[in-house]
Amino acid sequence: MEITGLRDIFLSQEEYLDTEVMVSGWVRSNRDSKNFGFLVISDGTFFTPLQVVYHDSLENFAQAAKLGVGAAVIVEGKLVATPEAKQPFELQASSITVEGDTEASYPLQKKRHTLEYLRTIPHLRPRTNTFQAVFRIRSQVAFALHSFFQERGFVYVHTPIITASDTEGAGEMFQVTTLPLESVPMEKGEVQYGEDFFGKKTSLTVSGQLNGETFAQAFRDIYTFGPTFRAEKSNTQRHAAEFWMIEPEMAFADLDDVMFIAEDMLKYVIQYVLVNAPEELEFLNQFVDKGLLDRLNHIVESEFARVTYTEAVEILQKQNDRFEYKVEWGCDLQTEHERYLTEEVYKRPVFVTDYPKDIKAFYMKLNEDGKTVAAVDCLVPGIGEIIGGSQREDDYEKLKKRMEELKMDLEEYEFYLDLRRYGSTRHGGFGLGFERAVMYITGMSNIRDVLPFPRTVGNCEL
Amino acid sequence: MEITGLRDIFLSQEEYLDTEVMVSGWVRSNRDSKNFGFLVISDGTFFTPLQVVYHDSLENFAQAAKLGVGAAVIVEGKLVATPEAKQPFELQASSITVEGDTEASYPLQKKRHTLEYLRTIPHLRPRTNTFQAVFRIRSQVAFALHSFFQERGFVYVHTPIITASDTEGAGEMFQVTTLPLESVPMEKGEVQYGEDFFGKKTSLTVSGQLNGETFAQAFRDIYTFGPTFRAEKSNTQRHAAEFWMIEPEMAFADLDDVMFIAEDMLKYVIQYVLVNAPEELEFLNQFVDKGLLDRLNHIVESEFARVTYTEAVEILQKQNDRFEYKVEWGCDLQTEHERYLTEEVYKRPVFVTDYPKDIKAFYMKLNEDGKTVAAVDCLVPGIGEIIGGSQREDDYEKLKKRMEELKMDLEEYEFYLDLRRYGSTRHGGFGLGFERAVMYITGMSNIRDVLPFPRTVGNCEL
C-alpha cells in the first residue's frame, strides 16, 4: 500500500472515510491504557494532526504503548468518522511500524516552550505547531508572490548576490573574498584586490534594484526575489543580516502604477494565505496574535488611503505632543508616526507619497516643485512601513546632476546612465521585505522566528 | 487610453483586431519612405515584435521617420489584419509619441552581435532576441519548478546563504567578513574571528541540503531554491562562481521515490516551457541549437532508463578504446562516459544508481553490499549529468561511523546526527543546478549566457 499524506486525507475526507489507508508521521503524543491507546501523529503535510487508536490485538502493542514523542511511525488501518468527538475522524490501526525511534532526551516533549528556547534548536523547532504554521505560511507567501507576478507577465530576474557596487551608497556591507585573512596581500598599505577571486573588492548585495532596472528596460515588467544583506550591528526584533526581498520594476509606469500593483499584490498574497492556510491562521490568531485574522481580512477589503508627505506632516504636527520624535517638514517619519497615520488617522493601509528629496535615494524622480521626489511608502496597521518604492529619475541630465551633487562615482554607474540615454522610459518599482511581510501575515513579532536559520549579529547557527 | 501589452494583443488578437489600441515599446527597426514608414517595436512582454505603419498625416512624421533603434515610443492606432503579409496584423498609427530618444552610439544597432560581445554589455543584452528568449525561459523554468513542488505540497525553505559550515567538506568557499582587510585583527598568528560580525568564521553556502533535511524531518516534503557559490578558479563554459540550485528533500522516501519525482519534475518543467514559450523555443531552435525542440519533445515522451553504476561500468569498459579516460569499477564517470550512456546506449535520459561509496558524499545511505551507496545521477542527452541525488543514511550508528572514518568534526554536525536520534526516517533528495537546466532547455552552451549577471573568476560586472 502507498503512503497517503494527511493533507490529502483531511482535504478529501469523503474519499478516505471507511477505507484502509497507510499514513506516516511523527508522534505528537501517546496515551495508553491497559489494552488500548491513542497516538496523535503529524506528517508535516497538514496542520491538524491525526488521532490513531490502537488495541492490544496489535502484535507489537507493548512497543506501540511505549512510543515516545518524536518517534517516526507508519500506520495502517481504517479511517472512521467520529461524529461525537472533537476531531472529525480517527484511524483504527491494524498495524504500527516504527520507522525511527526517539530518545528521552528529545527536547520537544509535550509542553509549551518559549520562542527564545526554540531559537536554540533551529533544526527541531519546525516540528512544533507554531513553526509548522509559520514556515508553511512563509512558503505560501513566497509562492503567492511568484504567482501574482507571473500571472501578470512579469519576468523573474535573478539579480546577483555578489556585487562590486553599493546600490544606495548606503550601508554597511559584508565583504566577500578568497584572500587569506591570515596574510592579506598588501602593498604600500593597500590591499591587493588584483589577487582576490574577482580581481576587485566585492560585497554581498543590499538591493537588486539597479540591476532590475536594466531588465525592466528590456522586458517592461520584471521582479526580483532573492536574498539581500546588511551588516548592521543593530540587534532589534525587526533586523536580520540576511533576509529576502522582492523588487518589482516596471517600464512605461508612473507612481500611480507602482501603488496600484503594490496594493494589488498585498491583497493577493493575504487572500492566498487566507484560502490555503486557514488552520494555520486560526492557530496563530488564537495563540500568537489575537487580532491577526481581523487585520488580514480588513486589509483585503480596504481601499488603501493616499496622502502626500507634506499633508501627512501637517496632520502629525498637530499631535507632536504624543510623539517621542517631533515631526517637522524634512524629517524622516519614525515608526510611531507611521503607525499613528495608518492605525489612528486612516485605520487602514496608507500610501505616503512625495517625500523630501534629501531623505530619499538619488535615483528617485524629482517632482516639479524641485523639493520632493516621487517616492512612496506603504504603511500598514500594526507594523508601519512594509513597502518602499518610487518612480525613478528617467531624465539623463537630472539624474547626472543629482549624482554629481552627491559626489557619486559616475563611472561606476555608467550602465545606469545608459538606461537614460538609450530609450529611457518613465518607470518605477518598489521593494517588499519578505520577512516583514511574513511577520505581518503570521503575527510573529521577531524576525528570528520567521527565518528558518536567522543570521543576526553574533549569531550564525547551522 | 490604457497601454496594452503586446502579449495580450498577440494572444487575444480577435479581441483587438479592428479596434483602437495604445501600445508602448522600443524601436527594433525603422524604414521610412517619402510619405510613410514602418516601425517595428517590441515591448518585452512578447517575443514577436509589432509592425507599426505610419504616414505623413502624422504631425510629427519627420520626427517618427528619424527614430533610431532603441528609442522608446508610445503608439496609438488601429490594429488591422494583414492576411497577405508575413505578420498576422499591423498597427496603423494615428499618433506616435517619443517617450525616450536614443543616440547613434547605441550598441545594439540592427545587425548580429556575437555572444562574446554581448557579454560586455550585460545591461543592454536583454534587449536582443536571443536574450529575450533565454531570460523569459529562465523565468518560466523558475516558476514551473515552484509550481511543480507547490502543487505536490512541498514546502519552500529558504536555507541560509551565509554559513559557518562546509556541507561536503568539499570545496573552495568564499569567505564573508566585516573585518577590515587592511588591518585584520590577529593574535599569535590567528585571525581574531571573535571580532567578526558573527563572532566566527563564515562563508557563502555551497548547498542547502543539510539544512533542508532538518525541515524535511518536520514537513516531510520540502524544497530549496536559492543561490549557491563555489570559489573554483575553473574557467569553463559550465561553471560559475554564483549559481542557483533546487534541492528537494523527502522524508518517508527511498531512492525510487527520488527518481520518480526527479523524472516527473524535468518533464513538467520542459512541458511548461513548450506550452508557454513556443515563439522563444522556435527562435532558439532555429538560431542557437537545431536539435533543441526534438530533444525536448523526446524527453517529455521518454520513460527514463535505469542502470546501476556497476552495470554501467561493464557496458562502458567494452568501449574503453573510444574514451580519453578509461573506465574501471571505482572511478568517477566523466562527461564522455555519461554522454555515451545516455546518447548512444539508451538514447534517452538515464538514472545511474548505486555508486561506490568512496566517490560519493558521507551522508549517502550505505547499501547492503557495504561497498556502494544509494546514490543516483540523472544523465540527459547533450549534456550528461543534470541531477545528482541520493537516499540519505538514516541510521545513527552507521552515519557516525562514516563521519569518523572521514575524520569529520562530529560536534559541528551534532544537529545532523540529532535527526537520526529523534524519529529518523528513510529519506532522500537531489540537487538540480538551475542554470544547467536553463542551458539544457534553451540550448545555450555557455553558462555566462543564461545568468543575468554572471560571476566567474576575474569577472563581477554590475
Distance from CA of A28 to the nearest CA of B (A): 11
All structural domains of chain B: 6-100 (2.40.50.140), 127-171+206-449 (3.30.930.10)
Query: B5: which 3 cell numbers?
Result: 501589452
In whole angstroms, give the CA distance from residue B316 to residue B307. Answer: 12
Which chain B residue shows the shortest CA-CA distance from A172? B178
Under an 8 A CB cutoff, do A423 and B179 touch? no
Would you put residue A24 in left (φ > 0), alpha (ψ -120 to 50) or beta?
Answer: beta
pLDDT surpasses 60 at A117: yes
**DSSP H stretches of helix in B302-452:** 309-317, 335-339, 396-405, 414-421, 434-442
Which chain A residue shows the shortest CA-CA distance from B253? A3
In whole angstroms, give the CA distance from residue A249 to residue A427. Answer: 7
Of A101, A126, A200, the CB nearest to B460: A200
Which chain B residue shows the shortest CA-CA distance from A23? B252
Chain A positions in Cβ-Cβ contact with residue B106 (cut-off 8 Å) = 421-422
Quick check: B47 contacting A, CB < 8 Å?
A: no
Q: Go through B52-91 and write b for each residue having 16 or more CB atoms within 10 A of its CB, e for each that does not.
A: bebeeebeebeebbebbbbbbbbbbbebeeeeeeeeebbb
Q: Beta strands A72-81 and A455-456: pairing type?
A: unpaired
Quick check: B22 contacting A, CB < 8 Å?
A: no
Q: Could you tell me the pLDDT band of residue A165, with boundaries at 50, 70 and 90?
A: confident
Mean pLDDT of B106-111: 88
Distance from CA of B235 to the nearest CA of A (A): 12
Q: Go through B328-342 and write b for each residue having 16 or more CB atoms within 10 A of its CB, e for each that does not.
A: eeeeebeeebbbbbb
Which chain A residue shows the shortest CA-CA distance from B73? A423
Quick check: B43 contacting A, CB < 8 Å?
A: yes
Q: Go through B252-285 and write b for each residue having 16 or more CB atoms within 10 A of its CB, e for each that does not.
A: bbebebbbebbbebbbbbbebbeeebeebbebbb
In this prediction, residue A95 carries a pLDDT of 98
How many CB contacts within 8 angstroms connect chain A with chain B?
Answer: 334
DSSP letter string, B1-64:
--B--HHHHHHTHHHHTTSEEEEEEEEEEEEE-SSEEEEEEE-SSSSS-EEEEEETTSTTHHHH
In this prediction, residue A171 carries a pLDDT of 64
Under an 8 A CB cutoff, do B218 and A143 touch? no
Task: Compute the mean pLDDT over every residue in chain B, rounded to the nearest whole number.
Answer: 96
Under an 8 A CB cutoff, do B5 and A220 touch? yes
Distance from CA of B291 to the nearest CA of A (A): 26
Which chain B residue shows the shortest CA-CA distance from A228? B161
* 3-class SS of residue A21: strand
Mean pLDDT of B190-197: 96
B22-71: per-residue pLDDT in tens? 999 999 999 988 899 999 999 999 999 999 999 999 999 999 999 999 99
Question: Complex ipTM, two decimals?
Answer: 0.97
Which chain B residue shows the shortest CA-CA distance from A160? B453
Quick check: B97 contacting A, CB < 8 Å?
A: no
Chain B positions in Cβ-Cβ contact with residue A119 (cut-off 8 Å) = none
In whole angstroms, give the CA distance from residue A65 to residue A77. Answer: 17
In whole angstroms, give the CA distance from residue B296 to residue B168. Answer: 33
Backbone phi, psi, residue B235, to 5°: -105, 70
| Residues sharing a CB contact under 8 Å with residue B181, sequence separation 6 or more, in sequence order | A175, A177, A179, A181, A184, A191
Of B103, B122, B160, the CB nearest to A422: B103
In this prediction, residue A10 carries a pLDDT of 97
C-alpha B50 chain-centroid distance: 29
- The percent of residues above 90 in pLDDT, for chain B, comes to 94
For residues A29 and A75, is the Cβ–Cβ distance under 8 A?
Answer: no
- Residues paired with residue A222 on neighbouring β-strands, in sequence order: A155, A249
Selection from A87, A67, A70 nearest residue A127 by Cα: A70
For residues A457 and A235, is the Cβ–Cβ distance under 8 A?
Answer: yes
pLDDT surpasses 90 at B385: yes
pLDDT surpasses 70 at B166: no
The amino acid that residue A164 corresponds to is A
Task: Kindly report each contact of residues A298-304 with a partner whose C-beta sits within 8 Å and lies 24 or more positions away, as own/partner.
Answer: A298/A348, A298/A381, A299/A266, A299/A267, A299/A270, A299/A348, A299/A349, A299/A380, A300/A267, A300/A270, A300/A271, A300/A274, A302/A348, A302/A349, A303/A348, A304/A259, A304/A263, A304/A348, A304/A349, A304/A350, A304/A351, A304/A378
Residue B108 vs residues A160, A208, B400: alpha-carbon distances, Å: 24, 24, 59
Residues 247-266 of B with CB under 8 A from A: 251-252
Q: Which residue would you say has higher pLDDT here, A86 or A89?
A: A89
Quick check: B152 contacting A, CB < 8 Å?
A: no
Q: Could you tell me the pLDDT band of residue B111, with boundaries at 50, 70 and 90?
A: confident
In this prediction, residue B442 carries a pLDDT of 98
Distance from CA of B51 to the nearest CA of A (A): 18
Of A177, A221, A242, the CB nearest to B162: A242
B374 exposed, middle or buried (CB, 10 Å; 0-12, 13-18, 19+)? buried
Query: B345: which 3 cell numbers?
Result: 546506449
For residues B16 and B55, is the Cβ–Cβ distance under 8 A?
Answer: no
Of B127, B218, B455, the CB nearest to A126: B218
A206-265: per-residue pLDDT in tens? 999 999 999 999 999 999 999 999 999 988 999 999 999 999 999 999 999 999 999 999
Chain B positions in Cβ-Cβ contact with residue A156 (cut-off 8 Å) = 138-139, 142-143
Q: Could you tell me the pLDDT band of residue B433, with boundaries at 50, 70 and 90?
A: very high
C-alpha A191 chain-centroid distance: 37
Return the H-helix or E-strand segment holding B377. strand B372-380
Which chain B residue shows the shortest CA-CA distance from A178? B174
In whole angstroms, give the CA distance from residue B284 to residue B61. Answer: 36
In this prediction, residue B112 carries a pLDDT of 86
In this prediction, residue A383 carries a pLDDT of 86
B230-264: per-residue pLDDT in tens? 999 988 999 999 999 999 999 999 999 999 999 99
Of A100, A105, A131, the CB nearest to B424: A100
Distance from CA of A69 to the nearest CA of B (A): 9
The CA R_g of chain A, rounded to the nearest whole Å, is 27
Selection from A107, A6, A4 nearest residue A47 by Cα: A6
B317-327: per-residue pLDDT in tens? 999 999 999 99
Q: Beta strands B305-308 and B350-356: pairing type?
A: parallel
pLDDT surpasses 80 at A166: no
Of B184, B215, B226, the CB nearest to A184: B184
In this prediction, residue B184 carries a pLDDT of 97
Mean pLDDT of A122-135: 98
What's the N-to-C CA distance of chain B in angstroms?
37
Under an 8 A CB cutoff, do A421 and B451 touch? no
- The percent of residues above 70 in pLDDT, for chain A, comes to 99
Chain B positions in Cβ-Cβ contact with residue A150 (cut-off 8 Å) = 139, 143
Query: B127: which 3 cell numbers?
Result: 534587449
Backbone phi, psi, residue B91, to 5°: -105, 120
Residues 409-448 of B with CB under 8 A from A: 415-416, 418-426
Would you put residue A109 in left (φ > 0), alpha (ψ -120 to 50) or beta?
Answer: beta
Chain B positions in Cβ-Cβ contact with residue A174 (cut-off 8 Å) = 162, 176-178, 197
**DSSP H stretches of helix in A302-346:** 309-317, 335-339
